[in-house]
Chain A
Amino acid sequence: HSALTQPRSVSGSPGQSVTVSCTGTSSDVGGYNFVSWFQQHPGKAPKLMIYDVTKRPAGVPDRFSGSKSGNTTSLTISGLQPDDEADYYCCSYAGKSYVFGTGTKVTVL
């Protein structure tokens, strides 16, 4: 399975909303509702932000939301805050394996 396709970077001002897209195929994103999103700050381990396309783990602000349409899934961050500046990776189940996205750097202007 090839890596899922994400934009290299997106940016927004504090308080704005940004959306990160993640495109796969019918063998991964489109075939299962098992998409997760991870946030990674420099030098830190990844942190789970969204799982099963739309669900948030306990402690993750509701400013973070996920969606899916066909082979593309998206992460939306509303009310952008300085600490949201990080790399974000999507991840999809692909039938006995998992595939990550290429990663997107979110910059808070």
Chain B
Amino acid sequence: QVQLVESGGGVVQPGTSLRLSCAASEFTFSTYAMHWVRQAPGKGLEWVAGIWNDGTHKNYADSAKGRFAVSRDNSKNTLYLEMNSLGAEDTALYYCARGTYCSDGSCYSGAYWNYWGQGTLVTVSS
């Protein structure tokens, strides 16, 4: 059974940094794109960032550009999200989601995100 387990959330002060992790298991991690999606309390879903299976392509929402960095370690089956200059607007539950299968150097663009973790909560507050 595919498993995605996020960790690294917590309460942090404005302007500080935090690194989230997403440990994947029971599938060949290195062959799938991965994504981060967040949900502020009582609000809707917001795509944050995505990364191809081999880490060569990374894309970000405008709200994350210049502050967040997505990365992965395929040897550890782990996805990361490094978040800097955090503000109150970043308070949210952060989910990782398995993206599409990648092959021949490309990843399908459809949002076939059928596996999600349970999320890790980030609270930015002074």
Give me the interface of A with B, judged by CB distance under 8 Å: 1, 3, 32, 34-36, 38, 40, 45-48, 51-52, 57, 87, 89, 91-93, 96-103
Contacts and interface: CB of A to CB of B under 8 A. Distances in A.
A101 B44 contact: yes
B44 A89 contact: yes
In the A-B complex, the 9 residue pairs with the closest CB atoms: A36-B111, A45-B116, A98-B47, A103-B44, A34-B110, A48-B114, A100-B45, A96-B59, A51-B112
Contacts of B95: 45-46
A91 to B, nearest CB: 5
What is the interface residue range for chain B against chain A? 20 to 34
A97 B59 contact: yes
Indicate the member of A1, A34, A101, A102 with the most B CB atoms within 10 Å: A34
Given A45-B118, A46-B95, A96-B59, A89 B110 contact: no
Given A100-B46, A102-B44, 13 more contacts: A34-B110, A34-B111, A35-B111, A46-B37, A46-B113, A47-B116, A51-B111, A91-B45, A97-B47, A97-B59, A98-B47, A99-B47, A100-B44
Interface string B23-59: 0000000000001010000001111001000000001
B9 interface: no
Interface of B: 35, 37, 44-47, 50, 59-62, 95, 97, 109-114, 116-119
A3 B47 CA distance: 10
25 contacts: A32-B109, A34-B110, A35-B111, A36-B111, A36-B113, A38-B45, A38-B113, A45-B95, A45-B116, A45-B117, A45-B119, A48-B114, A51-B110, A51-B112, A52-B112, A57-B114, A89-B44, A91-B45, A91-B111, A97-B59, A98-B50, A100-B37, A100-B44, A100-B46, A103-B44
Contacts of A102: 44
Contacts of A48: 112-114
Indicate the member of B59, B61, B110, B118 with the most A CB atoms within 10 Å: B110
Nearest to A103: B44
B116 A46 contact: yes
Nearest to A38: B45
